[in-house]
Amino acid sequence: MITLEMVNSFKSYDGSSGFFRGDIIPNELNIKILGYYDHKKILHIAIESDVDSFKSININGMSVLFENINTESQGSFGAIVFTCRSNSFKEYFIKIINEILQKSHQNGSIESNIPYVIDNWLYFLTLPIKNKLTPDQILGLVGELLSLESFCKLGVSVDSTINAWQGPFGAKRDFMFKNIEIEVKSSSKQIGHIHKINSLEQLSFEKDEKILVYSWNIYRDRSEKSPSIIDIVNRIRDKYLTTPSQLSEFNSRLYEVGLDVRDFNDYLGDRFQISSYFVCRVDKDFPKITLDSFKNKLSERIGKIQYDIDLNGFPELDIKEVVSEIY
């Protein structure tokens, strides 16, 4: 892992020598990685590579290209050279390279992971930073991400699932498939599946509408073996998102919710374990309050009604049956 402290201690060279006097960066890939500053105090990190060709990348703040370098301590070798164009970009520069190294250690080559990771970051780097999520917002998003992951795992197409995920854009339901709509509710209560309903419209439906609730009981866990919301995001990206358009659509929803890759480190301490989950149908027997629950029309002076529902022991649906209804 490359750190800011490590980078700030890199040596520089005056440009009069043809050798790079870079500091060696230990790594799990067992390849040569050198960090150094040139005579203009510009930061470079060179990662050993034997590719025949590499398409250069230039974005605001950094560039990436292939070149042959000569070093005093490591000899000559081909390298993908990352250049940080601005000191204000340095922290993001380090995060991007660390993510590339981490993904390359898990799967694939340095060269194949570079465009994917940079494209992912580039989406967020062009947008304003949002306020960080509250604990309740994080819990709700964990439930939605786990629901999305379960649909993909059960065979619903990735494109259909991501397109159906409309909750981040303020839609009436969290997932709006063609034939069915699904509201995701998450609770961390020890007593189980008790959820807050935020409006009279949230569980209302017309006669022919098919509405489901995907209920999650999730508890917070400090164990490092438990995944953080960032681990869940990365798990979905690595396993299911295979095209740039899928990544872009997924990122747009994360940003709308308020989860920004620039803040990922701030969310690593929050870890979660699933206690239980199930899907149930919203019908005439489902516990709910809607406008139809009132004999008289509600006063316009009543701005908002919230209430809790207890779904512990409520009749469950087979999740595979749900998937069959999506198409």
In a domain? residue 68: yes
258 Ramachandran zone, left/alpha/beta (phi>0; psi -120 to 50): left
In a domain? residue 130: no
Q: Are residues 109 and 189 in the same domain?
A: no
Domain boundary among 101, 125, 149: 125
Q: How many residues does the chain have?
A: 327
Q: Are residues 117 and 172 in the same domain?
A: no
Q: Are residues 107 and 160 in the same domain?
A: no
Instruction: State the residue range of the domain holding 258.
Output: 135-326
Q: How high is the mean pLDDT of the chain?
A: 89
150-156 long-range contacts, CB within 8 A, separation 24+: 150/319, 151/175, 151/323, 151/326, 152/236, 152/239, 152/240, 154/319, 154/320, 154/323, 155/323, 156/323, 156/326
Mean pLDDT of 286-314: 85
CB 46 within 8 A of CB 69: yes
In a domain? residue 121: yes
Spatial separation of the C-alpha atoms in residues 86 and 83, rounded to whole Å:
9
233, pLDDT greater than 60: yes
- What pLDDT score was predicted for residue 155? 93
Domain boundary among 61, 91, 125: 125
In a domain? residue 321: yes
β 43-48/194-197 pair status: unpaired
How sure is the predictor about 81, in pLDDT bands with cuts at 50, 70 and 90? very high
Q: How many CA atoms lie within 13 A of 15 on its CB side?
A: 5
Spatial separation of the C-alpha atoms in residues 197 and 203, rounded to whole Å:
8
- What pLDDT score was predicted for residue 41? 84
Q: Are residues 96 and 228 in the same domain?
A: no
Q: Are residues 151 and 105 in the same domain?
A: no
In a domain? residue 33: yes
163, pLDDT greater than 90: yes
Mean pLDDT of 191-214: 87
CB 213 within 8 A of CB 282: yes
Q: Are residues 109 and 156 in the same domain?
A: no
Q: Are residues 293 and 315 in the same domain?
A: yes
The string of pLDDT tens digits covering residues 83-130 is 998 888 899 999 999 999 988 988 878 988 898 899 888 888 888 888
Query: What string of DSSP letters covers 275-304?
Result: EEEEEEE-STTS----GGG-SSPPPTT---
In a domain? residue 82: yes
Question: Count of domains in the chain?
Answer: 2
Mean pLDDT of 235-239: 93
In a domain? residue 188: yes
Residues of the chain with pLDDT > 70: what percent? 97
- Lookup: tokens for 50: 């034997």
Q: Are residues 239 and 291 in the same domain?
A: yes
Mean pLDDT of 233-249: 91
Q: Are residues 116 and 183 in the same domain?
A: no
Q: Are residues 179 and 302 in the same domain?
A: yes
178, pLDDT greater than 70: yes
CA atoms 262, 246, 324, 327: torsion sign: positive
Q: Are residues 49 and 189 in the same domain?
A: no
Mean pLDDT of 34-38: 87
Spatial separation of the C-alpha atoms in residues 118 and 120, rounded to whole Å:
5
Spatial separation of the C-alpha atoms in residues 171 and 144, rounded to whole Å:
14
Spatial separation of the C-alpha atoms in residues 300 and 49, rounded to whole Å:
67
In a domain? residue 95: yes
Domain boundary among 125, 152, 183: 125
Q: Are residues 150 and 265 in the same domain?
A: yes
